[in-house]
Amino acid sequence: MPLNTAYIALGSNLGDRLGQMQTALDRLAEASIEVHVVSPVYENRAMGMGEAEPFLNAVAGVRTSLQPLALLELCLEVESGLGRVRSAHWAPRTVDLDILDYAELELKTTRLHLPHQRIEERDFVLYPLRAIAPDLRIRGQRVADLAARLPMDALTRHAFSLHLPNV
């Protein structure tokens, strides 16, 4: 079965943020997802959450034979397994996995929009994505160009990083 390239955003603002993001990557790999590249880690404010801890964010490039909705289900299972509770839309979370792009496919269902519907507004997604896929096209525009339009005011690149899973 052919492998498709997808990009998954990872975020966390509760507990061992970096450890939970790494465990999420490892669990994706254990489920036969080939994680082939991981961006630098960035820290940013928790938008719309008041006094919540800041988020760590990164993006992973993966190769998978899963179709988009099956990949979404796997991401939701990984989140749940790491203690993610969906109590409110803008709530702190142990880990958050969002499919940003899947083989440059355009898809709109009640469960999944591809590419991610607010990607152009999110510096905490575009900067990590630019680091690993600057020429990826989102709705006809290069990620590098989309990122260049957003200020990096509240976003900090960190020295620590995630590593590729050992599977």
Q: Yes or no: say if 25 and 35 are a contact pair by the CB < 8 Å rule.
A: yes
Catalytic residue list: 84, 93, 96, 98
What's the confidence (pLDDT) of residue 60? 98
* Beta strand ranges found along the chain (DSSP E): 4-12, 34-38, 42-44, 55-64, 96-102, 107-108, 113-114, 137-138, 141-142, 155-157
The angle formed by the CA atoms of residues 131, 135 and 139, to the nearest 5 degrees, is 115
pLDDT in tens, 96-150: 999 999 999 999 999 999 999 989 988 999 999 999 999 999 999 999 999 999 8
pLDDT category at 71 given cuts 50, 70, 90 is: very high
Q: Yes or no: say if 102 and 60 are a contact pair by the CB < 8 Å rule.
A: no
* Radius of gyration over every alpha carbon of the chain, rounded to an integer in angstroms: 15
The mean pLDDT of 39-43, rounded to a whole number, is 94
pLDDT at 32 over 80: yes
Q: Looking at the domain that runs over 4-157, which CATH code has it been given?
A: 3.30.70.560
Q: Where are the domains of the chain?
A: 4-157
